[in-house]
Structure 1
Amino acid sequence: MKARCFIALLAVWATIASLPAQRPFTLEECIEVALRNNRTVKQQQLSKEQQQIAYSQARADLLPNLNASVGHNFVFGRSKGRDDVYQSNNSSQTNFSISSDLTLFDGLRMKYNIDARKADLQASEADLQKIERDITLSVSTAFLQVLLNKELLQIAAEQVEVTKANIERSKQMVNNGKMAQGELYELEAQQAQEELEQVRAESNLQLALLDLAQIMELEEFSQFDVTAPAVETLINEGVLLSSDAVYQSAIMHRPEIHGAQYRLVSSEKEWLMAKSQYYPSLSFGANMGTGYYHMNGLENDSFSSQFRNNMSNSIGFSLSIPLFNRFQIRNSVRNARLAIENSKLEMDKTKLDLRKQVEQAYYNALGAKSRWKAAQKSEKATEEAFRFAEQKYENGRATSYELFQAKNNRTKVLGEQAQAKYEYAFRLKILELLKE
């Protein structure tokens, strides 16, 4: 009996453990999960590793190389003996060698290659930061949309509750003979319409949650939900800086600007690499070798004896002077120079695009702030109008249609106020990300 109870408890525990987590995500957790799961981020990380390998190889090119070789040849028919006289005998020969080369001077080409590959690596890191910033912005946008839809759903639910309370009061007034039955029907029709709006708000909230979950690339999001402080808190934490202040900060900190600068440096180093081909190159080489020779029909020294006696060593310098290369060097220098000009244009274009983004975000933030302030005033006015209409309706001095109109105006203004509020928070978030 105890064993059965223990097994049953294990089964219950396993079932509970297998259920998806119910804890809502904060904005920071959503961003963290999105960055961890995003395929584009992972691809850029691989690209960064490739640039790291290229940079490491460019540095390793400064080192000397070391190679060993072994060869064995068979000669049939006439063979050259150790006395350089050909004889009608088969022979075989084994060669061993070790060689090393070191570039002493190549017009600083290897140095410029190291600098270029380092700039490419830094540009790749900046690209990764740019992708992460874009994902952060996408997640923040979707997150704020979820919060907006939650507030719109709450507004819709509150309106339904207010209408239900009005219907209950109206039923009492109908029973007391203070209201016609037709007005009660109008209120019930209004309730049905508001319940439909509530269903739509619930659907929009689920779609917004789905959109956020897909940006985060969650595998399971049936129980997915978010939590956050009041949007007013998010707005109070932000500061609406001037567009010029945001742009100056962005020029100093934005990764796309850094990436363009690093690519310009890489292009300049590539140009110096191309020019370095005009210079002579000097290299140093060393070689050590030995061999074993065997001819059929003759007495041959032992392998160990020949290995020692046939040992030879050599060192040497090699100077290569470019005289004429069918204009390949000249054309490569020209192409590298054009690449520099193109990198400068790309940098100017990046700065111009950033300026446009900052200006648009700033004026959109100003507009959203103005709409929010205006909506707050309208909210107070419509709230008073609805309260006054409700009092008149309860005293029998207003029809259900007048109450319905005042209530609809209030609902509309509440929705507009919520949208303006969240849009302002969103614009502040954009400006915050643009200046970092």
Structure 2
Amino acid sequence: MRTFTIIAIFCCLSTMAQAQQYTLEECINIALQNNRNIKQQELSKAQRQIAYSQARNDLLPSVNASAGQNFVFGRSIGLDNTYQNTNSSQSSFGVGADITLFDGLRMKHNIDAKRADLSAAEADLEKFKDEIEMSVATAFLQVLLQKELLQIASEQIQLTDSNMNRRKELIKSGKMAHGEIYELEAQRAREEQNRVQAESNLKLALLDLAQIMELEDFSDFNVSAPSVESILSEGVLLSTSDIFQTALLTRPEIKAAEYRLQSSEKEVLMAKSQLYPSLSFGANFGTGYYNMSGRSNDPFHTQIRNNMSNSLGFSLRIPIFNKFQTKNSIRTAELAAENNRLEIDKVKIDLRKRIEQAYHNALGAQSKWKATQKSEISGQEAFRFAQEKFDNGRANSYELFQAKSNLTQTLSDQAQAKYEYAFRLKILELLKK
């Protein structure tokens, strides 16, 4: 099972008062176990396994037993080979076996086709798992982002509370009018609204992740993860050509398309096998009991013993004309194979397109993240300078609030850019697997 191995970490033990913590790997494993689409695909794989097993079993001989009972009323032929008005009954018992010796290699090609179908089903299952992993990873990183945004909102409130405490001390000492506190209180109220909204966004992100995992009870659901910096430190931005060449050898959708082509090519050979003669061998053993009214009949066990017969035989079937069914079957199979060849090209083109888009999105996210890092430095300095001016009485509360709002926005932009870059790296990591 392929999973996003972001980092080897251990989940902290939860206490009774804490929500249960899940790592990314645990979230992925739970989603893979609960997802209905994956379960359906596993059933489809099991069906392909049965079909493959049956194709192999078709090489074995077939054995059948038979029994029959007939009643004749009226005129029937008697022991003296003349017709008489009498009733009779006849019981028959037999066992027969037959095996195909040659059928133009149709059964062999059928085994190969069913093996390819089974491999395609396995590749489809891996593709479903990859999609689930991507969905879980996306939702997981969204939770981490919302957690960081909530932390930023909480820190801004703490900073405002600190300013309010200093302002209250100045008001208390008579160095500042009481009205100077109102703007900070209004700012504190707005920041509290932002914090409440951040809490709501975090709960919604957790709900989305829990629903993807198809948890039955997620009232105390939460996640435990390493810092995003450790995620970014593990990511390597490879070139699109390197990723594409690796993906051609490993991606399940490529493998599935190739296996389906193999299956269709074997079906072409199966259709062509109908042009060849088929040879089968059969063996039969039989006996019976005959009873005619008005005559003296041997006992049942005597007739069963005396009427035993055995037969062996070969059967040769030579196709001559079957209303062009074989010709049309071959052509239909060839068209299906050609369609699968085109499908492989389409899958490769689509994969290359996804890799190119993911790569350029990652480059854009990386540039945005670097730009926000520089903006953070400038924002921190601007806020520090505004704070100093405000403390020295050379700036009003509006100027301080504006500098603080700009810094808060910069920190939020940086967090979003950082997590977007981590997400884009994970997309590239998955595409090359």
TM-score, length of structure 1 as denominator length: 0.94
Q: Which of residues 165, 186, 190 is equivalent to 1:189?
A: 186
Equivalent position amino acid for 2:161 in 1: K
Q: 1:364 matched to which residue of 2?
A: 361
Unaligned runs of 5+ in 1: 1-18
Q: Which of residues 333, 339, 342 is equivalent to 1:342?
A: 339
Shift of 1:176: 3.0
Shift of 1:178: 3.1
- The CA distance in 2 between the partners of 1:290 and 1:339, in whole Å, is 50
Percent sequence identity is 67
Shift of 1:21: 8.2
Shift of 1:95: 0.2
Q: 2:46 matched to which residue of 1?
A: 49
Q: 2:213 matched to which residue of 1?
A: 216
Q: 1:420 matched to which residue of 2?
A: 417
Q: Which of residues 147, 155, 161 is equivalent to 1:164?
A: 161
- In structure 2, do the counterparts of structure 1 residues 21 and 29 end up closer, same or farther at CA, with 3 Å as the change threshold? farther
CA contact 1:365–1:428 (8 Å) conserved in 2: yes
Indicate the SS of the match to 2:221. coil
Q: 2:3 matched to which residue of 1?
A: none
Unaligned runs of 5+ in 2: 1-15
Equivalent position amino acid for 1:221 in 2: F
Q: What's the Cα RMSD here?
A: 1.2
- In structure 2, do the counterparts of structure 1 residues 311 and 83 end up closer, same or farther at CA, with 3 Å as the change threshold? farther
Shift of 1:388: 1.4
Q: 2:241 matched to which residue of 1?
A: 244
Please identify, of 81-90 and 161-170, the stretch whose mean Cα deviation from structure 2 is larger. Answer: 81-90
Q: 1:121 matched to which residue of 2?
A: 118
Indicate the SS of the match to 1:24. strand
Shift of 1:179: 2.9
CA contact 1:284–1:316 (8 Å) conserved in 2: yes
Shift of 1:90: 0.8
CA contact 1:74–1:93 (8 Å) conserved in 2: yes
- The CA distance in 1 between the partners of 2:83 and 2:41, in whole Å, is 65
Shift of 1:20: 10
CA contact 1:179–1:396 (8 Å) conserved in 2: no
Indicate the SS of the match to 2:222. coil
- The CA distance in 1 between the partners of 2:19 and 2:289, in whole Å, is 79
Question: Pairwise mapping of residues 33-432 of structure 1 onto structure 2 (< 5 A)?
Answer: 33-432=30-429
Q: 2:13 matched to which residue of 1?
A: none
- The CA distance in 1 between the partners of 2:397 and 2:180, in whole Å, is 6
CA deviations 1:210-248 (Å, max 9, x no partner) are 000000000000100001000000110121111111111
Q: 2:9 matched to which residue of 1?
A: none
CA contact 1:280–1:320 (8 Å) conserved in 2: yes
Equivalent position amino acid for 1:130 in 2: K
Equivalent position amino acid for 2:242 in 1: A
CA deviations 1:299-348 (Å, max 9, x no partner) are 10011111111111111111111111111111111111100110011100
CA deviations 1:86-119 (Å, max 9, x no partner) are 2211111100011111111111000000000000
- In structure 2, do the counterparts of structure 1 residues 384 and 246 end up closer, same or farther at CA, with 3 Å as the change threshold? same
